[in-house]
Structure 1
Amino acid sequence: MTNARYSMTAMILHWLIALALTFQIALGWQFETLERGTNLFGLYQLHKSIGIAILVLSLTRLFLRYARPRPAAFADNIWSERAAKSVHLAFYAVMIGGPLTGWMLVSTAKIDVPTLLFGTIPLPHLPIGRSFHEPAEILHELLAWGAIALLILHVAGALRHQFFKQENILGRMIPWAVERKGPLFLTLISISAALGIAFWTGSSITTAKTGPVNTPALNSPINDNPEASQNLPKEVAEKVAVLPVAEEEIPASDAKQKLANWQVSRGGKLGFSVDWNGTPIAGSFGRWTSDIRFSPDDLAHSAIIVNVDLGSASTSDAQRDEMLLGDSFFNVAVHPKAVFTSSSISNVGGDKYRARGTLKLHGKAQPLTLDFRLKIDGTNAKVSGTSRLKRTAFGVGSGEWAATDEIADNVSVSFDFAAKTRD
């Protein structure tokens, strides 16, 4: 070791890793509270891309640490020297282990999610089994918390040496730092601002790209936002930008005055289920709208239209949801919604009804039948029902997923909600 400053390469790598790690922590912090959607798919891809970048930078920094001379450590005694070394070793464990465990998570997900680093470089999966998924998930989360703790310790230690022990430790790692305290103090402020901006960017980019984190009412308009295309390939983004976003509604001329206009209440559910290797995978849509004109006494003129925001699909598994929203399945960048339009409604006994119509999904239109129970009490109603469709009839599941040996062709749809007549 020498008492010289760190090399310029080491300095650049140090601050690139610091900014990337701060950004990554802030971005990852937001994922558990965000709604599923087209933008979230892009944010996960960005998170993976930044993670692999940190891995490459950290391995390069580790190589240089032992390949080139570095300044001697500032230490009061042998114990403080060992503590400093322990923090640095722990940092490398986090900066290398974090991306590796994330890579393991992607590689062992139930459904294969392809990764393109920064939308360009394909990242192959690690050749490991599904049994590694849960341990990797636990370790990945622990390493994230470890990164936060280590950042606090590292910054606190640097400030202690610089301002309480009068040791110019920052001057060895900042390219433009000088001995005088005034310029060095301004440098410290600029570094703090840069790290703060990185953290703020990682936190705010999720809100800017996905909107508010609270779930909208089920009968609120679907947010088909063209800005979602910013995280998508250029050719796909151009298609998203020109997609019509208007909801399909029953034409006013077809709505008879005596038909009640029903408003779906909050708290309803629109779910789906499909078998994957014999195991049922259940999911739901968080955003959908409806236009219901219905009267048991005038079924001939009753009509139902339901608009579903496919980007709000969730199966409670982040990696699986990425695949579901991507090109291989829903391809929400090109086909952001599904629409069911009834053509006839009939009573099949008591409070049981059957609505026949057409479902538009993934650019295809196919007949669909909904069987439901309806109980009307004055201006209030309770509705529950089911349907079944074949995903391959709509082209949902392309390439290797077009086969039905792993993911079944039959998809069950269920719905349960309350409604009341509008004024």
Structure 2
Amino acid sequence: MTTTTLDSADKRPSEYGALAVLLHWAIFFAVIALFVLVKYAGSLDKADPLRVTIMDWHKALGVVVLGVAALRILWIRVRGAPELVPSPRITEVIARISHGLLYLLLLAVPASGLAMVLAAGRGVTLLGIPPLFEANKQAAGFLHEAHETIFVVTLAVVGIHIAGALWHQYFRHDATLGRMVPWLRGK
């Protein structure tokens, strides 16, 4: 099994380290939880107090994802990411574009959600973030639409990302998936 080391020639790690892997999967599972929470809340009557509680958790977890995603991006900027496993040029281009988009979207989705909440004149109760602005229904509506649209785009890019990882694992039979799934390393 290869350990995470810095290559002296380009200062890139040979694989993702434990923190990068932890942040990757924390974000992945948090995004799934956010989706489940908002879908469940949407199935409840607007007057149901449980809906308010669930949306409070959705908002708080969204802000946490924003912070963790920013930390992940900072970590990659400081530590670097391993080079891509050699692949056809088009595959490498798709990988670079999809990774860049994922990082951007992982900031944009929660940032637009937080902006929507603040524009609606609300705060994030569970994190102690008070309402910062007077409610602006038009801005909140626009941000709501943006938040949902950005999330749908994120789902599409995540789908491409997952398809690429599975393609590498089951068709290329290379080490790509093992970089984020430690028990596959060396197989």
Match of 2:185 in 1: 178
Change (3 A) 1:9 1:82: same
2:16 aligned counterpart, secondary structure: coil
1:32 is matched with: 42
1:71 CA drift (Å): 1.0
In the alignment, the residues of structure 1 paired with residue 170 and residue 55 of structure 2 have an alpha-carbon distance, to the nearest angstrom, of 40
Q: Does 2:53 match 1:47?
A: no
Distance 1:81 1:178, change over 3 A: closer
Q: Deviations over 1:201-234 (max 9, x none)?
A: xxxxxxxxxxxxxxxxxxxxxxxxxxxxxxxxxx
Query: Residue in 1 aligned with 2:150?
Result: 143
The letter for the 2-side match of 1:178 is R
Match of 1:115 in 2: 124
Amino acid at match of 1:60: L
2:84 match: 73
Shift of residue 75, structure 1, vs aligned partner: 4.8
Q: Is the 8 A contact 1:6 1:71 kept in 2?
A: yes
Aligned to 2:27: 17
- 1:25, 1:144 within 8 Å by CA — same for their partners in 2? no
Change in 2 beyond 3 A, CA 1:75/1:116 = farther
Q: Report the Cα distance in structure 2 between the residues aligned to 1:105 and 1:60, rounded to whole angstroms.
A: 22
Please give the secondary structure, in 1, of the residue aligned with 2:128.
strand
Q: Which has the higher strand share?
A: 1
Structure 2 Cα separation of the partners of residues 107 and 114 of structure 1: 6
Aligned partners of 2:151 and 2:53: how far apart in 1? 21
Distance 1:167 1:128 in 2: 54
Verify the 8 A CA contact 1:4 1:172 in the aligned structure 2: no
Q: 1:127 to 1:75 in 2, by over 3 A?
A: farther
Q: Which has the larger Rg?
A: 1
Please, which runs of 5 or more residues in structure 1 have no aligned partner? 181-423
Q: In the aligned structure 1, how far is the partner of 2:37 from the partner of 2:149?
A: 16
Computed over aligned residues only, the root mean square deviation of the Cα atoms, in angstroms, reads 2.1
Q: Which has the higher helix share?
A: 2
Unaligned 5+ residue runs, structure 2?
1-9
Whether 1:97 and 2:97 are equivalent positions in the alignment is: no
* Deviation, structure 1 residue 20: 0.5
2:40 counterpart SS class: helix
The one-letter code of the counterpart of 2:116 is L
Inter-CA distance 128–74: structure 2 relative to 1 (3 Å threshold): farther
Q: Relative contact order (C-alpha < 8 Å, sep 6+): which is higher?
A: 2
**Partner-residue secondary structure (3-state), 1:45:** helix
| Percent of residue pairs bearing the same amino acid type | 25
SS of residue in 2 equivalent to 1:123: coil
Structure 1 127/175 Cα, relative in aligned 2: closer, same or farther at 3 Å? farther
- 2:4 aligns with none
Q: CA deviation at 1:116?
A: 2.1
1:25 deviation in Å?
1.7
Q: CA deviation at 1:125?
A: 4.1
Pairwise CA distance, 1:3: 6.4
